[in-house]
Structure 1
Amino acid sequence: MSEKANTTKKNKFFEIANKNFIMLFIAYTVICVAHSMTQATASAGWKTMGMDMSVIGIISGIQGWAAFIIRPFSAPIVDRGNKKKIYLFAVGLFTVAIFMYAQSMVNTAWAAPTKLIHGIAWTFISTVTAVTLSEYVPREDYGTALGFFMVSQMIASAISQPIAFALAGKFGYHTMFLIFTVVAAVGTALVLLTSPTKTPERKGGSMFSGIKLNNLFAKEAIMPMLINVAYQGTRSGITVFMAAFALEELGLENIGLFATFASFTGWVARPFLGSLLDKKGPKATLITAGISFSAGLLCLAMAQNLAMFCIAGILIGFGQNGISPVLMAISMRTVPEERKAAGNSTNYLGMDIGSAVAATAGGFMVSAFGYRLGFAAFIVPVMLATVVAAWYLGRLDKKEKAK
């Protein structure tokens, strides 16, 4: 490569890696670390305090229901409001939620309001992060910058649970959550250090006046949304109950390696899954991923040691990373060009509903039939969703060919 090309590449990197980008990247990474460990560790902590699994399931579902109610309104508010101020509000509220988790490890009466606050805060964080980033990097470099932020999610998911369970084992769950409260507070402080963003010009009305039902939901994307309910619900459901299962039945205090293996497998498998999607199409990719996901659930139901949890993590990580992009593509294909934002929003609503329903129903299943049968039962919606999705993709292909 010529010296001129090297210089151009370096200059482009430094255009992206300005002060605001670096602050926001570090802030988002540490916030994702605090977020990624909460679902599994909170359930395990509440279980050690004697809370019944059916109650844990109901409480864990509150986060998903809060996201379901708030998410449709978050995008219009972010679009019409000051991005930095909304981000500061969201990460500040998230920090409060992590502190409330710590209090819930002393008094379980804190558990339900904690999940409510967490659901509201994270919905806004997931909506506003990418939009705020666009304010700080050149338009032509936005895709590259966003790619770095996706890496931060993977890093957080891979390292957060092993660290959290190790801290909980040494100091207790209360102290562990206090430590992560400080981590979240550091993220809030870093957001505070970024440059101000402009408030968009609004032609009359407040930032809430842009909220319209037509912009929030696309009826054309109902089927992909329902398919996502099954997949996302299953992934969230096993996360809620897995740590408690490992601790109660197998005496394993730290199963954070499950999340580590799932995250790295997804990252490594992405090139293969992308090639499969290009060469064989979405139907073949979805069926392959669905079988892998189901095999991971079966492995989880039969787990006797940490190694089997890690194998389950590999299979589920592969499956999830094959399913998510296909479902997103299906949602985009079902709606007209001018309704893609609504289609995307509807897809995420399916994720929120799935998280809420699976946590609630899973708690009752685990209490009634035990952990292993509960995990095995999740295979049914995954395989059913895979079959329905494959049929639906075939139907879409026929429609597009007919046109």
Structure 2
Amino acid sequence: MNKPKLWTKDFLIVSAANFFLYFTFYLLMVTITIFASEKFHASPSQAGLASGIFVVGTLIARLFSGRSIDSVGWKKMLYIGFILFLLTTLLYFAVNSLTFLLVNRFLNGAAMGVASTATGTIVAKIIPNARRGEGTGYYALSVTLAAAIGPFLGMFLMQHSSFNMNFIVCLIFLVMSFVAIFFLNVPKVELSHEQLSKMKGFSIHQFFEVKAIPISIIGALVGFGYSSILTFLTSYAKEINLVDVGSFFFIIYAVFTLISRPFTGKWFDQKGENFVMYPSFLFFAVALILLSQVHQGIMLLVVGALVGLGYATFSSSAQAISIKVSPKNRMGLATSTFFIFVDGGVGIGPFILGFFVPLIGYRGLYFSVGVVVFACIFLYYFLHGRKNRQRRSELVELH
């Protein structure tokens, strides 16, 4: 029996578009604090706000774009998001005060929220159901690669050029992506009168897909754990004198994600999500606990590999689960629900964890977060894992 085709023109276009969205996000995330500090003499807290307020804008936009994407239209929402993202990225050249920068970062994040909700919803429709885990895994590589290449190129350009070169590079890639999405074929959304009537009014169902909330709660906790790496790894590497090796951490992370993705996606589809999810929790928890004990560069790189096998596998598989358990006509809302929770965990993590660093240090912090991620194994079992196991057992009995 032939497998349905995955690597279509449309799949490649939407994956590339998503890559450049996140490439811009990660590149500016690691450089904007220095931009704010050097150009506007911002304090560390103000510079941190300039970086983090982007995520706030993204979260708020996801709430409303997830609710309205089906009624507005998936491709139209993608156009709106990309145009706003291009315009707000262009506005960085006009920024002349810290207040202007903060406002534009918020708007830039909101535009990102709209565009990425659209790409996530469109790709969920494009991926064949029989290859849901595999396809979502490959699509998620667009974010993984962006997380490795964006920060690396951003820091390189800062050392060898001006801040404006970062903005120029982002704009060039975004324009190329915007042109490409004109050639994207997106199935039209056809909603019944009953489905349209449910979209009216004001209730939790208009902003969240309830069936996607259990896996999204776990996503928030795991994202909370990942925020400890995004936020404090550089400072920790300096403290233990491993800055040079630390710069390769995300490269190793991306390499091992690339290596594992062809296998984990197929296992998700063929053996079920539990076969993939339980090891991903374990790998990530072990990575964080090992990180708390790092003394040599090779160990830091081993941690990067384990994070690639753990966190990256979890994020793509959990996204696939959120879509799988939700009604087909609410794919957009399921996608936005999942990312709202994950982004919330990543966004609030640095603020909460920052209070613990003076008390227990970075080593104590990473050990504690590792325990939290390990506890997610049991939470996953009660919220989703045992139900999936029962369903698979019933299917086996039927056959």
TM above 0.5, yes or no, is yes
Check if 1:36 corresponds to 2:14.
no
Quick one: which amino acid aligns to residue 319 of structure 1? G
The CA distance in 1 between the partners of 2:98 and 2:341, in whole Å, is: 29
The CA distance in 2 between the partners of 1:23 and 1:336, in whole Å, is: 25
- Give the alignment partner of residue 307 of structure 2, picking from 288, 293, 316: 316
Task: Write out aligned runs for 1:11-160 (5 A).
Answer: 16-17=8-9, 27-43=17-33, 59-81=50-72, 83-99=74-90, 108-129=98-119, 152-160=142-150
Structure 2, unpaired ranges of 5+: none
The equivalent residue for 1:168 is 158
Check if 1:259 corresponds to 2:250.
yes
SS in 2 for 1:89: helix
Deviations 1:288-347 (A, max 9, x none): 222211232234445567654432221111101332355346546766777666554433
Given that 1:224 and 1:347 are in contact with CA atoms closer than 8 Å, whether structure 2 keeps it comes out as: yes
The equivalent residue for 2:374 is 383
The equivalent residue for 1:353 is 344
TM-superposed CA distance for 1:399, in Å, is: 6.7
Quick one: which amino acid aligns to residue 348 of structure 1? F
The CA distance in 1 between the partners of 2:296 and 2:102, in whole Å, is: 32
Given that 1:165 and 1:253 are in contact with CA atoms closer than 8 Å, whether structure 2 keeps it comes out as: no
The CA distance in 2 between the partners of 1:198 and 1:78, in whole Å, is: 13
Distance 1:45 1:253, change over 3 A: farther
Distance 1:371 1:86, change over 3 A: same
After TM superposition, the score normalised by the length of structure 1 is: 0.72
Task: Write out aligned runs for 1:295-314 (5 A).
Answer: 295-303=286-294, 307-314=298-305
The CA distance in 1 between the partners of 2:124 and 2:274, in whole Å, is: 33
Deviations 1:345-390 (A, max 9, x none): 4333321321221133234444665544444442233122223213
Task: Write out aligned runs for 1:321-340 (5 A).
Answer: 321-328=312-319, 331=322
Structure 1, unpaired ranges of 5+: 1-11
Given that 1:303 and 1:309 are in contact with CA atoms closer than 8 Å, whether structure 2 keeps it comes out as: yes
Quick one: which amino acid aligns to residue 305 of structure 2? I
The equivalent residue for 2:284 is 293
Aligned length in residues: 386
The CA distance in 1 between the partners of 2:387 and 2:187, in whole Å, is: 42
The equivalent residue for 2:173 is 183
Deviations 1:16-52 (A, max 9, x none): 54xx888766555444432333333435655778766
Distance 1:54 1:311, change over 3 A: farther
The CA distance in 1 between the partners of 2:44 and 2:92, in whole Å, is: 17
Deviations 1:93-126 (A, max 9, x none): 223444566777x854455324422321111111
Deviations 1:198-255 (A, max 9, x none): 9978999xx9994554243244544322211111222244213434554687484795
The CA distance in 1 between the partners of 2:36 and 2:296, in whole Å, is: 23
Superposed CA RMSD in Å reads 4.9
The CA distance in 2 between the partners of 1:332 and 1:195, in whole Å, is: 21
The equivalent residue for 1:392 is 383
After TM superposition, the score normalised by the length of structure 2 is: 0.72
The CA distance in 2 between the partners of 1:269 and 1:224, in whole Å, is: 22
Percent identical pairs in the alignment equals 20
The CA distance in 1 between the partners of 2:80 and 2:299, in whole Å, is: 41
